[in-house]
């Protein structure tokens, strides 16, 4: 039971101290300092008051001591002769008169030299012996001396207050007769004053602290708590929590302040909802706009962390399966790009640069050339850098076109130089030495000039054709009768094939449907491919032109016409097959037998691309070469063919 009580007492004590600590922590620093100052002042004032009361009590005790000593000596002097004569009646009468005339004397006791009390007021020995039959003795203090010149004085506490005890030796004619013990009451006025002062001091001290505690409680409930609630509310509002409200039933200025705070929070919440809707819409527009930009777009903060990235930038840097938002850009880009832009990025973040542009070749994730443009994003005051906008352009095609353009110009210049030089040389010779030349020589020179002029004309025509095809010009695609186009081509080259003793073979499927194409362009394709086949096929060889329907293996419902141009010529090596369609690439560069512009197959590829198809090649050195491509049939023809199937 005692253990349970102890546990309950400890729990209650801990809870009380915890409650006090919590209550004390709710006060502000100023309130705590004010309470501490009040405590110090009240303690100092109470200490001074108690010091004054103690001083008064000591003075009163000293006065009582002096009064008791003088009174004892006076009484002893008056009663000593009567006691020496054993006249106790006179002693009793004198003592009774004296005791009745003053309220300062508490008691008067007379004892003989052995300490037996023989008379006392308010009692004396005969009365005691008759009523109680008890013999009383006086217990003298240990330091009492019968031969002392001055009375012995001491104080002791009684339920009625402090009493001063005076012990006076009784002597007569130099003989020790006993002792007179007198009890002196304290000065009533001094006692009342001292008690009143003490009570007032205690009351004032208690009153002060009751007022302080009440003031603290009132302050905590009516001022500190609302202010703290307001402070918490303001911090929540500053943090963006506009749903914060304060619910305290207060009136007056604080109540009005809380009401205005709640009203402000409601307006801010309403504004936030409107702004969020607008920002969400604007963000969606921005993300949609950025995602549709053909160039890569990346937005960075001042710490180089990615805030926004569009699909094009993800594709360029291979981020399709990576979550780079919130991560450092420099840790996720190729090393070649990192080396180029790291220092400029930090310079822009520090405000030392506003923009920069770089052209960087990369090999990861694919080999390409990119152009990166960096632009700093400033705040509304145009003073501080808030981020960096990064635009990434894939200029691989542009670089390739520029290189191809440079190579094309170089090749054209080289190809034009040779016939022009030959023409100029022979014409100058005819001009300067024509009269000295024989007729046969002049005819030979003119034939050479004519041949070089034809060569120059072919080159210019091929360049113009290739330029038109690569210029982006749109060609009308209609229904084309491939049988007619093939027959016209073979008629054109029949004599050339006969002169070279090469057999031309036509293998066209009967009732071949019309295909979607451009008749003139397809004639040019057939002409270039047949011309090349005749050029690289020796005498006795064969050149075949075939056309037949096929079904697309990827789409059985799609019917196409395949065109093949095959020869039994010298063939093309695998290394040459990779570059056979490039401008100015000629197989004769390797075999050193025939000449040409090197643009024919490049023109063929561009024309077939215009027909949304692709030209293929199968070749073996010493065996022959086959070029083939597929053309879609007209829709009506396709429907009829499907119905027939």
pLDDT digit string, tens, across residues 277-315 = 766 666 666 666 666 677 888 888 888 888 888 888 888
Among 1.10.287.130, 3.40.190.10, 3.40.1390.10, 2.30.30.30, what is the CATH number of 400-461?
1.10.287.130
**Residues 617, 569 contacting (CB under 8 angstroms):** no
Q: Does domain 26-239 have CATH number 3.30.450.20?
A: yes
- Which of the four CATH numbers 3.40.50.2300, 2.40.30.10, 3.30.360.10, 3.30.565.10 does domain 474-644 have? 3.30.565.10
Return d(Cα 180, Cα 74) in angstroms, integer: 11
Low-confidence ranges of the chain (pLDDT < 50): 125, 127-133, 588-594, 638-645
Say how far apart CA 168 and CA 402 lie, in whole Å.
139
- Looking at residue 363, its pLDDT comes to 81
Q: What is the DSSP string of 245-299?
A: -------HHHHHHHHHHHHHHHHHHHHHHHHHHHHHHHHHHHHHHHHH-SSEEEE
Residue carrying structure tokens 């049988």: 483
Would the CATH topology of 400-461 be identical to that of 474-644?
no
How many Cβ atoms sit within 10 Å of the Cβ of residue 388? 26
- Domain assignments of the chain as residue spans, ordered by start: 26-239, 245-281, 297-388, 400-461, 474-644
What pLDDT does 400 receive?
A: 75
Identify the CA nearest to 522 among candidates 608, 415, 616: 608
Residue with tokens 């950025």, as numbered in its chain? 290
Q: Does the reported pTM lie above 0.85?
A: no
The alpha carbons of the chain give a radius of gyration, in whole angstroms, of 65
Residues 572 and 587 sit within 8 Å (Cβ to Cβ): yes
Give pLDDT, residue 566.
92
How many percent of the chain have pLDDT more than 70? 71
Whether 264 and 279 have beta carbons less than 8 Å apart is answered as no
Question: Please, where are the H alpha helices in 471-535?
Answer: 482-499, 519-535
Question: Domain 297-388, what fold?
Answer: Beta-Lactamase (3.30.450)
Summarize pLDDT for 368-415 with one digit per residue, the tens. 888 888 888 887 777 788 888 888 888 888 887 777 677 667 666 666
Residue 434 and residue 446 in contact, taking contact as beta carbons nearer than 8 Å: no
CB atoms within 10 A of CB 584: 19
């Amino acid at each position: 039971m005692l253990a349970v009580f102890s546990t309950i007492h400890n729990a209650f004590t801990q809870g009380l101290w915890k409650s006090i600590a919590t209550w004390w922590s709710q006060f502000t620093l100023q309130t705590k300092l004010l309470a501490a100052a009040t405590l110090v002042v009240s303690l100092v004032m109470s200490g001074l008051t108690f010091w004054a009361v103690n001083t008064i009590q000591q003075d009163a005790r000293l006065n009582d001591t002096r009064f008791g000593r003088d009174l004892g000596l006076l009484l002893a002097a008056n009663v000593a002769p009567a006691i020496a004569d054993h006249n106790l009646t006179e002693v009793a009468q004198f003592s009774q008169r004296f005791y009745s005339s003053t309220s300062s004397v508490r008691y008067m006791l007379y004892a003989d030299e052995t300490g037996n009390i023989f008379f006392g007021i308010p009692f004396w020995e005969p009365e005691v012996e008759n009523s109680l039959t008890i013999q009383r003795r006086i217990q003298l203090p240990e330091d009492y001396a019968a031969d002392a010149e001055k009375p012995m004085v001491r104080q002791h506490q009684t339920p009625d207050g402090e009493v001063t005890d005076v012990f006076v030796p009784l002597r007569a004619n130099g003989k020790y007769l006993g002792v007179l013990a007198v009890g002196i009451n304290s000065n009533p006025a001094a006692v009342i004053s001292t008690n009143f002062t003490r009570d007032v001091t205690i009351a004032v001290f208690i009153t002060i602290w009751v007022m302080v505690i009440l003031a603290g409680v009132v302050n905590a409930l009516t001022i500190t708590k609302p202010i703290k609630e307001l402070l918490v509310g303001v911090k929540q509002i500053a943090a963006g929590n506009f749903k914060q409200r304060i619910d305290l039933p207060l009136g007056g200025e604080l109540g009005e302040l809380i009401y205005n705070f709640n009203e402000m929070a409601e307006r801010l919440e309403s504004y936030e909802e409107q702004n969020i809707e607008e920002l969400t819409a604007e963000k969606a527009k921005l993300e949609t706009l950025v995602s549709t930009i053909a160039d890569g777009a990346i937005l960075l903060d001042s710490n180089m962390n990615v805030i926004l990235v569009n699909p094009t930038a993800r594709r360029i840097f291979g981020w399709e399966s990576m979550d780079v938002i919130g991560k450092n850009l420099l840790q996720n880009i190729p090393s070649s790009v990192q080396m180029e832009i790291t220092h400029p990025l930090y310079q822009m973040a520090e405000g030392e640069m506003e923009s920069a542009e770089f052209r960087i070749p990369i090999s990861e994730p694919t080999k390409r050339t990119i152009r990166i443009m960096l632009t700093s994003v400033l705040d509304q005051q145009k003073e501080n850098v808030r981020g960096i906008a990064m635009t990434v352009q894939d200029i691989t095609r542009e670089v390739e076109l520029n290189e191809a353009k440079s190579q094309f110009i170089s090749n054209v210049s080289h190809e034009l130089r040779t016939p022009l030089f030959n023409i100029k040389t022979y014409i100058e010779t005819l001009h300067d030495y024509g009269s000295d030349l024989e007729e046969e020589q002049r005819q030979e020179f003119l034939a050479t000039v004519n041949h070089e002029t034809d060569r120059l004309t072919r080159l210019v025509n091929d360049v113009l054709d290739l330029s038109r095809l690569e210029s982006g010009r749109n060609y009308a695609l209609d229904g084309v009768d491939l049988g007619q186009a093939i027959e016209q081509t073979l008629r054109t080259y029949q004599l050339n094939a006969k002169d070279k003793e090469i057999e031309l073979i036509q293998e066209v499927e009967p009732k071949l449907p019309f295909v979607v194409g451009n008749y003139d362009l397809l004639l040019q394709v057939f002409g270039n491919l047949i011309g090349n086949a005749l050029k690289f096929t020796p005498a006795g060889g064969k050149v075949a032109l075939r056309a037949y329907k096929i079904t697309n293996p990827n789409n059985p419902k799609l019917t196409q016409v395949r065109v093949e141009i095959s020869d039994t010529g010298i063939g093309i090596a695998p290394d040459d097959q990779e570059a056979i369609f490039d401008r100015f690439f000629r197989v004769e560069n390797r075999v050193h037998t025939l000449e040409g512009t090197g643009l024919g197959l490049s023109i063929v590829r561009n024309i077939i691309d215009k027909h949304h198809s692709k030209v293929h090649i199968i070749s073996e050195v010493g065996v022959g070469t086959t070029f083939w491509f597929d053309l879609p049939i007209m829709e009506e023809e396709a429907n009829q063919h499907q119905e027939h199937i």
